[in-house]
Structure 1
Amino acid sequence: MTYIKSKSSILKLLASITITLFCIVLFPSAVKAEDNQAAEVNADITLSNQGSISRMTDGSYNTKTTFSSGDTITITSSEKMYSLYIKWDLIPSEWTLSYNGKTETNGTNGFLHEYVQIPDGTTEMTITFASKESICDMHVYSKGSVPEDVQTWKTPCDNADILVFATHADDEILFLGGVLATYGGEQNLSVQVAYMCEFTTSAKIREHEKLDGLWESGIKHYPVCGDFPDLYSQTLEAAKKQYVYDDVKAYTTSCIRRFKPLVVVTQDLNGEYGHGGHMLFSHAVAESVETSNDSSVFPESASNYGTWDVPKTYLHLYTENKITMNLRLPLSRMGNRTSIEVQTAAYKKHVSQQWCWFYVSDDYEYSCADFGLYRTTVGNDTGNDMLENITTYEEQERLAKEAAEKESIESSKAAEEASIAKEQQEIKAAHKETSKRKVSVAVIVIIVVIIIGAAAFGYVRLQQSRRKHSRRRR
């Protein structure tokens, strides 16, 4: 009995080992994924100006270390470093990074949160400043995929599937957030966000929170922003006295022409809860989509980018041609969270605004799920998809590539058929020429035979004639 139990245990153990090895061979990605995760490197940092290292590595936007032109930061580690991540206090001017005997210029994209890859890795690097700069936070990472909260921004879109206009940082989440998570995060489309108001000169922390919120929403293209201050009013008329309305329209028109969006989304014409700035910006966008295809309106941006006629424009809470987005579906690319859950997490990134009563919801009067189709050149909607009747830029590129490949195949086929036809014609012509030659040779042979026959006949007659003459003489 003991022997049988022991044998059974051994068989179970062998079966377990076999299954484990089989899973490792069959599904290696799970094991590899963990191996490919980059970790933060505990590097040694030396500042040439003897400034505070802790104030630039404590994870806070409220602390910083400032550097002058010519100052350097040297970072060393026994472990190879493959990337550098800096959160600047303000958008930096150009700066250089030296490692492995070469020097690279960075700061060219105008990113407040800047990620730099070091493809071959290094154990020592030096940052050199060309002007006065301040760093709020800095990290270096080992080889592999960096943590999800490291913002590896792409430059603003060349062509945007969707262009989202928001008056302030956090408006894009509270009122338009369903668009960000659904189309930018889950569907991975080119979604570009354009803000009206800047906070660099008033509340710098909100510029950081803006980026953190967008990244949490799944947006990968760096946002653009107007140079308008944040001013509060309660009516459209009051807002028009605070801002130069034509300047705002020039900005919205320029964004439309620059990004050539297939869909434009912006805020409520009534300013959601009655904010005059929201009213002003949404009215500016609504007017701009009507005139952005006219080169005589704001001709400078028409000269820079050309004109553009937006196929579809949606306004938040617009009561005509209404659509209601389903924001309760799990989004696989967003960790199986719903759009509401994603945007709730994104709004929490706006730490400085958590004292406000605002919240993300799809079932109250400012629902981020409710929009209306304000203008269309491609027909009305029959469902709740903003991309109905729209072919995204990626799909257009795919179709164009397919058409080009098909054309290339057809062209090659036509060329091959033409080549075969030409070859057949040449063979036919050659056969014809050969036949002609054969006929000519045959004719010549016949003529020669006739001549030879005639000559032989003549010779025979001549001989016969001579013999006759010879007999007579005898």
Structure 2
Amino acid sequence: MKIKRTLTKSIQILVLGFLMMSAQGEAMIWGQRTLALTTDATKLNASSTFKINGIKATNDLIDDTINTYVNFKEGDILSITSTSSIQYIYILFDRAPSLYTVAYDGSSQRAGIFGFLHELITLKSTSTSIEITMPSGKVASIFVYSEGTLPSKVQKWEYPSFDTELLVFATHSDDEALYFGPAIATSISQGKDVQVAYLVNHFNTRKRPHETLDSLWELGVTHYPIFGPFRDLQSTSLTHAYTIYPKEKILQYELEQIRRFKPEVILSHDFNGEYGHGAHMALSDTLKDAIVLSSDFNSLTESAVRLGLFSPLKTYIHLYTPTEIILDVNSPLEYFNGRSALQVARDAYEYHITQHIWPLQVITYTYGDVRRFGLYHSLVGADTTNDLFEHIPD
């Protein structure tokens, strides 16, 4: 199975890489990292001038914060001139951008193709004078950099994974760190392809989408997350949750993601909602059906035709005791420069600043114990070790 998955991924990468090079003129392919350069890139904002339709932009555009924004109308021209050569442009949008164009030195390339909220643009060649024909919407901050190795905080998002090894179904922004953070960090350190799919979105808020991306990036995730079609609403029981999040709609969403990402392993919430949150309960309760129906052609037939059928090999539920394993969250991980998976998760949660009003932390005890997961469903046999990927060949 792994050979077929790898071959499929290789074909998809080649095709999509060609499309990206055609659209953007870049020799960058999804899933590949650019080679590390020998020198660090320099931030050039201080030596650059930013103008909007010929008028100098306010400091709100370059103040390195998501607390202030500059509003653009579609077609506005953002010009950037610098005394040094620019290689990279990094933009933090307020909402997913539509297509826009970056022009310089007689060349142009398209951007906004994937709607990334945090978008890194790599120019085909360095330039000291750039014009961006902006999409409609707000921009929190923009940064320009020289050639070299970019700072670690600059996020180079990849399209959602084609060959997912771990799919995490989380309900809210911050759950990825609070309950699944160490599992994600450990999997990343093992070279696994990790995809996170959220039940709700926070598009009615300004800061939480940014916090989500910052947290995921800290955890080592590079595949852009999926956000569900549901609003974040409070619920204290499964019965109530299904009155605001129809069970059939959640099931359809989960089936779509399982068939799309074809994960080897799935993680999701405690059946009791971690601390009793109804939406957490609804997500994991419907997952019981989704992992079975994902291989049934008669269930959501349209997506079965479009995406194909698939059965995940293993599904783990947080705090599920009948088949519990205890993850090692304290050993130092070379991938994270010696930090433990627990520390990485705690560092990731620090980015969820708006949620620090609640008494929640990344912990290893009681309802929030990030070490404890139970194997709810398996096609490869029972666990004998504390390894999420046991019995799954590399």
Asked if 1:174 corresponds to 2:178, the answer is yes
Point out where structure 1 has 5 or more consecutive residues left out of the alignment. 1-32, 396-474
Match of 2:50 in 1: 45
> Higher relative CO (CA 8 A, sep ≥ 6), structure 1 or 2?
2
The Cα offsets for residues 185-238 of structure 1, whole Å up to 9 and x where unpaired, read as x1231100000001112x221011000000001101100111100011111000
Letter in 2 for 1:361: I
How far 1:308 moved relative to its partner? 0.3
Residues 309-352 of structure 1: CA distance to partner in whole angstroms, max 9, x if unpaired? 11100000001211110100111111211111111110000011
Instruction: Report the Cα distance in structure 1 between the residues aligned to 2:111 and 2:90, rounded to whole angstroms.
Output: 12
Structure 2 residue matching 1:272: 3-state secondary structure = helix
Residue of 129, 139, 143 corresponding to 1:139: 143
Please state how far the C-alpha of 1:34 moved relative to its aligned partner. Answer: 8.9
Taking the aligned partners of 1:340 and 1:117, their CA distance within structure 2 comes to: 33
Residue in 2 that maps onto 1:312: 314
Q: Matches of 2:179 and 2:377 in 1, distance apart?
A: 19
Q: What TM-score do the two structures reach when normalised by structure 2?
A: 0.88
1:190 pairs with 2:181? no
Distance 1:90 1:251 in 2: 22
Query: In structure 2, what residue type is equivalent to 1:291?
Result: L
- Tell me how far 1:119 sits from its aligned partner: 3.7
Sequence identity percentage: 36
Per the alignment, in what secondary structure is the counterpart of residue 273 of structure 2?
A: coil
Whole-Å separation in 1 of the counterparts to 2:198 and 2:350: 19
C-alpha separation between the residues in 2 aligned to 1:292 and 1:371? 22
**Distance in 2, Cα, partners of 1:34 & 1:289:** 43
Deviation at 1:368, TM superposition (A): 1.0
Runs (4+) off by over 6 Å: none
Counterparts of 1:272 and 1:297, CA distance in 2 = 29
Q: TM-score, normalised by structure 1?
A: 0.74
Once residues 288 and 140 of structure 1 are traced to their aligned partners in structure 2, the CA distance between those partners, rounded to angstroms, is: 44
C-alpha deviations, 1:332-379, integer Å up to 9, x for none?
Answer: 111211111111110000011111100011233311110000000001
Over residues 249-269 of structure 1, what are the superposed CA-to-partner deviations in whole Å (9 max), with x where a residue is unaligned? 000010000000000110111
Look up the match of 1:259: 261
Q: Does residue 72 of the first structure (1) align with residue 77 of the second (2)?
A: yes
Report what 1:437 is aligned to: none
Shift of 1:49: 6.6
- Within the candidate set 117, 121, 124, 2:126 is matched to 121
Secondary structure, aligned partner of 2:367: coil
Describe the SS at the equivalent of 1:212: helix
SS in 2 for 1:273: helix
Structure with more of its chain in helix, by fraction = 1
Q: Deviations over 1:134-180 (max 9, x none)?
A: 11011011111100000001110012000000000001110111111
Q: What displacement does 1:74 show?
A: 0.7
Whether the aligned pair in 2 keeps the contact of 1:51 and 1:65 (CA below 8 Å) is no
SS in 2 for 1:58: coil
Please give the alpha-carbon distance, in whole angstroms, between the structure 2 residues aligned to 1:170 and 1:378: 31
Hey, what's the Cα distance between the residues in 1 that align with 2:357 and 2:56? 34
Residues 413-466 of structure 1 show CA distances to partners (whole Å, capped at 9, x for unaligned) of: xxxxxxxxxxxxxxxxxxxxxxxxxxxxxxxxxxxxxxxxxxxxxxxxxxxxxx
- Alignment root-mean-square deviation, CA: 1.3
| Separation (CA, whole Å) in 1 of partners of 2:122 and 2:61 | 20
SS at match of 2:40: coil
Displacement after TM superposition at 1:290 (Å): 1.3
Q: Does 1:92 align with 2:94?
A: no
Tell me the equivalent position of 2:245: 243
Q: What is the CA–CA distance in structure 1 between the aligned matches of 2:95 and 2:262, rounded to whole Å?
A: 29
Give matches, 1:431-450, under 5 Å: none
